[in-house]
Amino acid sequence: MPRRLNDGDPGRFTAAALLFIGLISCLVVYAVFTALLRPQGHKLDSAVRFTDSRDHSRVDGGGGCCRGVDNLELWGSAVKWGTDFKFNSSDECCKACKVMCSGDDGPCLCDSWVFCGDKEACGSKFGECWLKKQKDVLVPARQEGGGQKVMWTSGLIFGQGQGIVGFETEHGVLHVKLHPECAPHSV
């Protein structure tokens, strides 16, 4: 009796073909899920690199974070003297410091600022904006008022790679980038 084509006898490469099709299907599904679930923007490698996500174009215009702490005077080496450098608000003083810290190639020239914005308390110093450089930006030098109210408003700016602290947990070290210009009291 002659053999019919649809006897159901599998060919010799049927198992290999099915295995190959299954493998290709798994690779396609893996590629699609990898592309969809990949975090956008930041790359992390084994050295854990941090990128500065601040929008430097917002430094010149309105918006952005530029807040300081009232009644606080930070000390440090002056990079821009306030007697010759005056503004109408602490926000403008902070932005002037940020402009000196906009490069991605090294430490900031200015990492702290001090502004005198109280007309009565400041007198002739009203509007002075002192741009300063701290020895250790995580532990800034500060002038203690000795019980008196301080007339200055001060703030910190962290540059690229600065202001990253690590919290050791049972699961490993959690690295956090601080943004004192957005939430000065949290830092």
- Residue 3 burial (C-beta neighbours within 10 Å; 0-12, 13-18, 19+): exposed
pLDDT at 126 over 90: yes
What's the rounded mean pLDDT across residues 163-185? Answer: 76
Q: What would the pLDDT profile of 132-152 be if each residue is shown by its tens digit?
A: 998 887 788 887 766 677 889
* Two structure tokens written together for 59: 């430094």
Please tell me the predicted confidence (pLDDT) of residue 10.
63
Q: For 57-186, which CATH class?
A: alpha beta
Cβ-based neighbour number of residue 99 at 10 Å: 15
Structure confidence by residue, pLDDT tens digits, 50-86? 444 444 443 444 446 888 888 888 988 999 998 889 9
Domain spans of the chain? 57-186
User: How far is CA 166 from each of CA 32, 140, 172, rounded to the nearest angstrom?
Assistant: 34, 19, 10
